[in-house]
């Protein structure tokens, strides 16, 4: 059975803090020998939908969703989930459309989307996995905490580059047996082989730059369709 190289967490120009064009994202993924690219823009599936039209064999529609408690990371999303929902409500909406549900960088206290331990405990029985390695963590301590939480609560782990620039793509990837949908992903996720490297802490400056460029009007953020 063929093994697939998966990027679980990346952003495009449809995220407020990324300038990565969709075509360049697809081309870069192919050069990085990625077999599946889960595009997880902030509170939007517009970019993933467009990219999937460009490369239907490569792109899986995902979304990174800001809830009232922290961020969720979903794959095989069919309908966009708005930000600002209670976690249980967002999870219920994702479940209704058959999405795969993970939790973004849960213990990275430097990011707005991190989770308090008590809140994470409440949703642990409701999700399929948590992100046990995020390449954009400043150091590896948040990832180790997530890995330990996954072990204690018998949760599968996802890893991702959280790429907001093209050069980050594929920095953290998971090698999995073939799957076609969310249920297939659930069946193989625990047997994945991880390949992970932390990005430089200075990579966060690229996200600030993207935000400023869009706020100043030098780059137009695509409209949702």
* Residue 187 token pair: 């069946």
The 10s digit of each residue's pLDDT in 51-86 is 999 999 999 999 999 999 999 999 999 999 999 999
What digits encode the pLDDT tens for the residues 187-212? Answer: 999 999 999 999 999 999 999 999 99
Q: What is the pLDDT of residues 109-146, one digit of tens each?
A: 999 999 999 999 999 999 999 999 999 999 999 999 99
Q: What is the pLDDT of residues 160-180, one digit of tens each?
A: 999 999 999 999 999 999 999
Q: Where are the alpha helices (DSSP H) in the chain?
A: 22-31, 46-54, 87-96, 117-123, 141-152, 182-188, 204-215
Cα diameter, the chain: 49
Q: Is residue 34 part of a domain?
A: yes
The yes-or-no verdict on residue 225 having pLDDT over 60 is: no
Residue 49 has pLDDT above 80, yes or no: yes
Please report whether residue 32 resides in a domain. Answer: yes
136-160: per-residue pLDDT in tens? Answer: 999 999 999 999 999 999 999 999 9
- 168 vs 127: CA distance, rounded Å: 27
Residue 223 lies in a domain: no
Closest CA to 126 of 111, 115, 140: 115
Question: What pLDDT, on a 0 to 100 scale, did the predictor assign at position 223?
Answer: 72
- pLDDT at site 2: 80
Asked if the model's pLDDT at residue 224 lies above 70, the reply is no
In degrees, rounded to 5, the angle at the alpha carbon of residue 157 between the alpha carbons of residues 154 and 161 is 165
* Within-domain flag for 190: yes
Domain range spanning residue 21?
3-215
Provide the pLDDT confidence category of residue 221 given band limits of 50, 70 and 90.
confident
Mean pLDDT across the chain, nearest whole number?
97
Q: Are 63 and 81 in contact (CB under 8 A)?
A: yes
Question: How many domains does the structure of the chain reveal?
Answer: 1
CATH number, residue 205: 3.20.20.140
pLDDT, residue 119, reads 98
Q: Looking at the domain assignment, is residue 173 inside a domain?
A: yes
Burial readout 49-72 (b: 16 or more C-beta within 10 A, e: otherwise): bbbbeebeebbbbbbbbbbebbbb
Give the side-chain half-sphere CA count within 13 A for 146: 26
Checking if the pLDDT of 220 tops 90, the result is no
Would 174 be classed as within a structural domain?
A: yes
Give pLDDT, residue 82: 98
Give the span between the Cα atoms of 70 and 80, in whole angstroms. 17
Q: Residue range 38-54: average pLDDT?
A: 98
Is residue 220 domain-resident? no
Give helix 46-54 / helix 22-31 axis angle, nearest 10°: 60
């Amino acid at each position: 059975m063929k093994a697939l190289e998966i990027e679980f967490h990346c952003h495009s120009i449809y995220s407020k803090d990324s300038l990565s064009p969709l075509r360049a994202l697809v081309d870069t993924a192919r050069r990085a020998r990625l077999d599946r690219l889960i595009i997880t823009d902030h509170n939007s599936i517009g970019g993933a939908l467009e990219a999937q039209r460009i490369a239907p064999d490569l792109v899986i529609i995902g979304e990174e969703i800001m809830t009232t408690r922290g961020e969720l990371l979903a794959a095989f999303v069919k309908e966009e989930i708005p930000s600002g929902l209670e976690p249980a409500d967002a999870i219920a909406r994702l479940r209704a459309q058959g999405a795969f549900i993970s939790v973004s960088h849960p213990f990275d206290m430097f990011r707005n989307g991190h989770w308090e331990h008590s809140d994470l405990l409440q949703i642990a029985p409701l999700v399929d996995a948590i992100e046990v390695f995020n390449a954009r963590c400043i150091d590896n301590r948040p990832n180790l905490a997530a890995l330990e939480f996954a072990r204690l609560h018998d949760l599968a782990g996802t890893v991702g580059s959280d790429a907001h620039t093209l050069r980050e793509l594929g920095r953290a990837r998971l090698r999995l047996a073939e799957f076609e949908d969310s249920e297939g992903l659930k069946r193989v996720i625990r047997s994945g082989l991880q390949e992970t490297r932390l990005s430089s802490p200075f990579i966060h400056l690229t996200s600030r730059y993207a935000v400023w460029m869009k706020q100043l009007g030098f780059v137009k953020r695509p409209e949702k369709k």
